[in-house]
Amino acid sequence: MHTVKHWFSHSLAAQALVLFVLGLGLGAVFRRDGHPAIWAVQSLLYTAVIVGILAYQRRRASRATGARPDTLIDLGRRIRHREVPEDPEERAVMRWLVEDQLGKMERGSRWQPYWLGVMGLIAVGMLVLGVTTGSPAFPVVFAVGVIVFCCWIVWMRKRAIERYQHMRSALRERG
> Widest CA span of the chain, in angstroms?
64
pLDDT higher than threshold 70 for residue 171: yes
State how far Cα 99 lies from the chain centre: 18
How would residue 175 be classed by pLDDT, with cut points 50, 70 and 90?
A: low
pLDDT of the residue at 29: 85
**What's the whole-number mean pLDDT along residues 117-146?**
89
Closest CA to 168 of 72, 109, 70, 100: 100
Distances (CA, A) of 165 to 7, 84, 104, 106: 28, 13, 13, 12
